[in-house]
Amino acid sequence: MSNRAVFFDRDGTLNYDPGYLGNPDLVRLYPGVPEEIFKLQNIYNFKIIVISNQSGISRGLITEKNVNEVNKKISELISNSGGKIDAFYFCPHHPEFSSKEESECRKPSPKMVYKAAEDFEVDLSESYFVGDAVSDIECGINAGMKTVLIKSTLSDEEINILHKEGKSPNFVADNFIDACRYIYEDHTGGN
């Protein structure tokens, strides 16, 4: 039996993004994140997988250990409400600081999504990608999923460019809770 999953971007989607987050003490989740992840898992039976670009590693601003410590802190904060992140996948590379081959894992490439789908036997056609950036929406589309854009950092103009390029998200959400509400309604057919 295959699983369905919600793939989330990390910084700017699950947690506030101070830029190249490497200190777990600076992790602050957005309102509703632990509770909504609990619902997605325990009521709607979705796997929860985080897919993020962490080019701060190749830039020398943070280490892989820093990223893992931040991921651990996010997991702890979410588990306090009974939910859990099934897995974190991140690409440490950036084409300015890494080879082209190394950088192939970066979103909008669906490479990390495909790896997660293989690891967890996920049916991508029954899954969603939620993020706050153009690369998140393109990654979800490239992997054949429905996409949800959390409109926290993108301007209306940037969203219009996505539409014009035929890369419209399935839904534009005001915040994390709004994004999850769309997934519940879409998944159940509005019931």
pLDDT of residue 191: 58
pLDDT of residue 182: 97
Other residues' Cβ atoms within 10 Å of the Cβ of residue 166: 7
Inter-residue contact 105 to 112 (CB < 8 Å): yes
| Tens-digit pLDDT string for the chain (191 aa) | 579 999 999 999 999 999 999 999 999 999 999 999 999 999 999 999 999 999 999 999 999 999 999 999 999 999 999 999 999 999 999 999 999 999 999 999 999 999 999 999 999 999 999 999 999 999 999 999 999 999 877 778 877 877 788 889 999 999 999 999 999 999 988 75
Q: Active-site residue among 11, 86, 132, 136? A: 11
**Domain formed by 4-188, architecture:** 3-Layer(aba) Sandwich (3.40)
Determine whether 17 is an active site residue: no
pLDDT of residue 155: 74
Distance CA 5, CA 185 (A): 15
Give Cα separations from 150 to 8, 32, 81, 130, 154 (angstroms). 11, 14, 22, 7, 9
State how far Cα 83 lies from the chain centre. 16
pLDDT of residue 161: 77
pLDDT of residue 1: 57
Domain spans in the chain, listed from the N-terminal domain onward: 4-188
Q: Active-site residue among 9, 86, 132, 136? A: 9
Determine whether 11 is an active site residue: yes
